[in-house]
Structure 1
Amino acid sequence: MGTELLLYLGGLALLDTLSPTIIGVTLYLLLGNQPRTASRLFVYLSTVAILYVVLGIVMMLGFTSILDAFSSLTEHVIVSRTLFAIGVILFIASFFIPTNKKRTIPLPKTESLLSITIIGLTTFLIEAGTAFPYFAAIGLMTSEGVPLYLWLPTLIIYTFIMVLPAILIFIGYRLMGKWLEGPLEKLRLKLAEHSNSALSWVMCIVGVVLILNTI
């Protein structure tokens, strides 16, 4: 993969760290002061990460199969034009997202590992529908014809970056404890209030990235 593609993928991965759901559930688990917080958070983040990697693998294999079936000289032109059209749509649609609408963050009904796993699945189902940076990354790797031995570890690293803020919040909370409770509680409230605003910015930036990459 070229340096330019890596920069695009890195930027998209950083955008995907702005997930209000993942960070919101992480803050709920930490601020609840429940026992075995570390194991519950590990189960939650692992569930989300594994599901995203599986989705990425399925999509990459599916797109590759489609391109192989239409092995003509125009296939990459079609992919590029499709990505350009998606970029334009995302850019325009980003201005119509109601920024004052709150998004409900799913919370576990109990503290059991099964409940935490279900919340991880719920997070995936909620976030996957609006994971525009992730889909854009897959589209870019497909259009560039990145081989499996490169895109598979890229997907894994991408997903790790996606959940990295939650891990860093956990480490910071363990190191600083009570000092961070106030700021983290304020962060949790801000996420609930401005989640749609973040989605709007993400859609706008992803649209621009796709447009620039395919011009």
Structure 2
Amino acid sequence: MTLTAILSTLVLLALIDSTSLGTLLIPVWLLMTPGRVRVDRFLIYLFTVSGCYFAIGLIIMFGTDAFLNNYAPLMVSKPFLLGQLAIGILLMIISQLMDTKKSRARAAERAASGGGYIFKWRTRFTGEAVSSKISITILIGLALTAVILELGTMLPYLAAIGILVTEGPAWPMSGILLLGYCFVMILPALILLAGRLLAYPFLKQPLQKIDNWLMKNAQRAAAWIIGIVGFLLSVNAIYDLGWVQ
């Protein structure tokens, strides 16, 4: 594979990765904050996500995946799978408790009054009333959480690392290409940030509508996500335990 083909493939995979939870959905949510956007905090979040991806890529490139393979027997042992099943069932129960008629009614009331936990959390991330140190700590925690949630869906990133290892140039050029990949991942979010800063008067009304919808439906969406994760964990554990064929 030529260098041009490698670069083209890496850019394509990076753009696919740029549509994930941590690189697009959460940045859009942060940009929908009313009033002035705290650019410094937004960039801290984005570059934390990008930096985590870069670190994970370096770890994989230098062969730590072989070290992790040593723990494969533990991950298919009966105690581990039973624990995974218990966690999956617990998550599904939590999702049901979160999504009730009363909770939906309260969420609608909070959205109508401009409140709700999603508004409060975003205020902690970006608001003026929160100290910079606390806000930065929370933002870094949010970025790390997003990366952890995406670990199981890093297929484009893993494919890119595979290309760099098998077809790409030697170190340190491979590391530079990996760093460029991680930057392209957050490039769409940076473009959206520029649009938010330059064209907010035109975007204010549609952003407000999206914001109200998000505050009203955030808890229900979170419940669905938790339930789906719990279901997948449970099904995987049941299958690996050999209870179904």
TM-score range, shorter chain: 0.5 to 0.7
Identity %: 31
Question: Is contact 1:29-1:37 (8 Å) kept?
Answer: no
Q: CA deviation at 1:22?
A: 2.7
CA distance in 2, matches of 1:7, 1:137: 11
Decide whether the 8 Å contact of 1:12 with 1:133 is kept in 2.
Answer: yes
Quick check: 1:15 aligned with 2:16?
yes
Q: Equivalent of 1:126, from 149, 158, 176? A: 149
1:115 aligns with 2:129: no
Structure 1 stretches lacking a partner, 5+ long: 67-105, 197-215
Q: How far apart, CA to CA, are the structure 2 residues paired with 1:26 and 1:5?
A: 28
Deviation per CA, 1:11-42, whole angstroms, max 9, x where unpaired? 11121111144322212222222666211101
User: Using the alignment, how far apart are the partners of 2:35 and 2:52 within structure 1?
Assistant: 26
Q: In structure 2, what residue type is equivalent to 1:13?
A: A
TM-score by length of 1: 0.61
Provide the C-alpha distance between the structure 2 equivalents of 1:146 and 1:127, rounded to a whole number of angstroms. Answer: 27
8 A Cα contact 2:58 2:175, kept in partner: yes
Distance 1:142 1:122 in 2: 27
Map 1:53-202; keep pairs closer than 5 Å.
53-62=54-63, 110-111=124-125, 112-144=135-167, 146-184=169-207
Letter in 1 for 2:175: L
| RMSD across aligned positions (CA) | 3.1
Matches within 5 A, 1:28-39: 28-33=29-34, 37-39=38-40
Structure label with greater radius of gyration: 2
Cα distance in 2 for residues equivalent to 1:20 and 1:158:
17
Q: Contact 1:30–1:37 (CA<8 Å) still a contact in 2? A: no
The aligned amino acid for 1:29 is L
Amino acid at match of 2:49: V
Q: Deviation at 1:113?
A: 1.3
For 1:161 and 1:46, the matched residues in 2 are separated by 11
Query: What is the TM-score normalised by the length of structure 2?
Result: 0.54
CA-to-aligned-CA distance 1:93-116 (integer Å, 9 cap, x gap): xxxxxxxxxxxxx96582211111
